[in-house]
């Protein structure tokens, strides 16, 4: 089989790129390791920045997001028995974010691929890129006992942090930068009315918490837990009790609890692989970089990679102009590192660090009081949270 672009990974990055390229008449195949049901059972991101929302509309996938997603003009930070507000709209020149689950967004992308008859292969085993440093790369995969070879012009590695693409870049070329935080987030989804119409990030002596949502009848809550904890260590009752302890009294009093319909722990990690291109292989999204979820940047950073790649490939095929492809890694990484900086900053601001010094504690308190005493500081947060320009 021969295609122009072979995309590895059927998460939001891979699906969005295949949809955008298809609409421009560029031939793609997308290879996903798992079943569609499996991909759609993951509960992940919830906050979509405005630039990403625009790209979803350009991909003809924005209709349900615009209908069912909620526009949020700001979020709260609870700390020291106070509930402060970051007004995104006011401090970012009128921008906002959309709260719309990654699961729903991925479902919309799959449906759009179906509608256009996109070439999407599920349960593709042993996906392997070959000859990526040459002008004639190819990818092999297995379905049952049949091995299929896909010849292509470009390979896109959009296969997440544990994928195969990054690992196919020689180790003497790839530099990896990593920071692992000594805790994780235990998240639950429940069919209950959210405690607040907008998100509440909570800094508390017992640890971080987050009140988020998927809709007015579906809540998403997180609490910081030690890395050694397992989801099965936490009954629903224990989760709700711990969450309530971390919320300001007036918020805890309003909390509606119910059975969890999903419960999982995500470890917190910052990671960047450089460069994001090797020969004819281009990495995008979590395959190249991970942020702790605190600043809601992960999926949004994936979207900006896709924006750059999409335009670079269009310029290559339409105008024979390779400057976008040649500059991809540098351009994408410049924005990726800004998302890393912001996610690291939000994580340091809001979490309880087990081995903190009293000095670190004082700095963290000062950072918080500075934030809410300075409009300039709030503008910096707003500008980053709604998404820096692509």
Q: Give the footprint of ligand PHB on this chain (CB under 6 A).
A: 45-47, 199, 212, 220, 293-294, 296
CB 95 to ligand PHB: min, Å? 16
Q: Are 231 and 243 in contact (CB under 8 A)?
A: no
Interatomic CA distance for residues 52 and 206, integer angstroms: 34
Residue 45 within binding range of ligand RFL, rule CB under 6 A = yes
- Out of ligand RFL, ligand PHB, none, which partner does residue 220 contact, by CB within 5 to 8 A per kind? ligand PHB
Nearer to ligand RFL by Cβ, of 118 and 285: the residue is 285
Task: Find the binding residues for ligand RFL in span 280-299 (CB under 6 A).
Answer: 285-286, 293, 296-299
Task: Find the binding residues for ligand RFL in span 158-187 (CB under 6 A).
Answer: 158-160, 162-164, 185, 187
Residue 214 within binding range of ligand RFL, rule CB under 6 A = no
Residue 69 within binding range of ligand RFL, rule CB under 6 A = no
Count of chain residues binding ligand RFL (CB under 6 A): 37
Cβ neighbours of 226 (radius 10 Å): 13
Nearer to ligand RFL by Cβ, of 273 and 366: the residue is 273
Residue 245: burial class (beta carbons within 10 Å; 0-12, 13-18, 19+): middle
CB 12 to ligand RFL: min, Å? 4
Selected binder of ligand RFL within 3, 20, 39, 186 (CB under 6 A): 39
Number of residues that make up the chain: 390
Classify strands 28-31 and 120-121 as parallel, antiparallel or unpaired.
Answer: parallel
- Out of ligand RFL, ligand PHB, none, which partner does residue 289 contact, by CB within 5 to 8 A per kind? none
Nearest Cα neighbor of 120 from 216, 35, 215, 228 is 35
CB 358 to ligand RFL: min, Å? 31
End-to-end CA distance of the chain: 34
Beta bridge partners of 87: 74
- The helix/strand/coil state of 11 is coil
Nearer to ligand PHB by Cβ, of 203 and 316: the residue is 203
DSSP string, 81-145: TEEEEEEHHHHTTS--EEE--HHHHHHHHHHHHHHHT--EE-S-EEEEEE-TTSSS-EEEEEETT
Selected binder of ligand RFL within 6, 8, 139, 382 (CB under 6 A): 8
Distances (CA, A) of 3 to 73, 151, 152, 155, 213: 43, 6, 5, 10, 40
Task: Give the x-and-dash track for 116-145 against ligand RFL (CB under 6 A).
Answer: --------x--x------------------
Q: Point out which residues bind ligand RFL (CB under 6 A).
A: 8-14, 31-34, 39, 44-47, 102, 124, 127, 158-160, 162-164, 185, 187, 266, 285-286, 293, 296-300, 302
């Amino acid at each position: 089989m021969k295609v122009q672009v072979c995309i590895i990974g059927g998460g939001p990055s891979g699906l969005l790129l295949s949809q955008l390229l298809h609409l421009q008449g560029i031939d793609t195949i997308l290879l996903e390791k798992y079943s569609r049901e499996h991909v759609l059972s993951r509960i992940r991101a919830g906050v979509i920045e405005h630039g990403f929302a625009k790209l979803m509309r350009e991909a003809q996938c924005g209709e349900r997001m615009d209908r069912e997603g909620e526009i949020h003009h700001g979020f709260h930070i609870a700390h020291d028995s106070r509930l402060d507000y970051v007004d995104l709209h006011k401090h970012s020149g009128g921008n906002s974010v959309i709260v719309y689950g990654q699961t729903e967004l991925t479902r919309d992308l799959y449906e759009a691929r179906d509608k256009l008859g996109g070439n999407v292969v599920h349960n593709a085993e042993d996906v392997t890129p070959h000859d990526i440093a040459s002008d004639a790369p190819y990818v092999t995969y297995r379905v049952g006992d049949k091995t299929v070879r896909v010849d292509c012009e470009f390979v896109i590695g959009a296969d997440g942090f544990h994928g195969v693409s990054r690992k196919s870049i020689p180790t003497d070329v790839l530099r990896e930068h990593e920071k692992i935080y000594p805790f994780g987030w235990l998240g639950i989804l429940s069919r209950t009315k959210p405690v607040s119409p907008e998100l509440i990030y909570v800094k508390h002596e017992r640890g971080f918490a987050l009140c988020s949502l998927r809709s007015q009848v579906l809540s998403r809550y997180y609490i910081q837990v030690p890395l050694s904890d397992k989801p099965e260590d936490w009954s629903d009752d224990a989760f709700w009790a711990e969450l309530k302890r971390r919320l300001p009294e007036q918020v805890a009093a309003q909390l509606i609890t119910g059975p969890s319909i999903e419960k999982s722990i995500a470890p917190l990690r910052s990671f960047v692989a450089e460069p994001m291109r090797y020969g004819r292989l281009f990495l995008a999204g979590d395959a190249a970089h991970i942020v702790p979820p605190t600043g809601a940047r992960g999926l949004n950073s994936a979207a900006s990679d896709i924006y750059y790649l999409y335009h670079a490939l269009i310029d290559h095929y339409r105008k024979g102009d390779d400057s976008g492809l040649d500059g991809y890694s540098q351009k994408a990484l410049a924005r990726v590192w800004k998302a890393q900086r912001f996610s690291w900053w939000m994580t340091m601001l809001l979490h309880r660090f087990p081995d903190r010094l009293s000095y670190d504690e004082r700095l963290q308190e000062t950072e918080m009081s500075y934030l809410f005493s300075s409009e300039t500081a709030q503008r910096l947060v707003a500008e980053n949270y709604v998404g820096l320009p692509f």
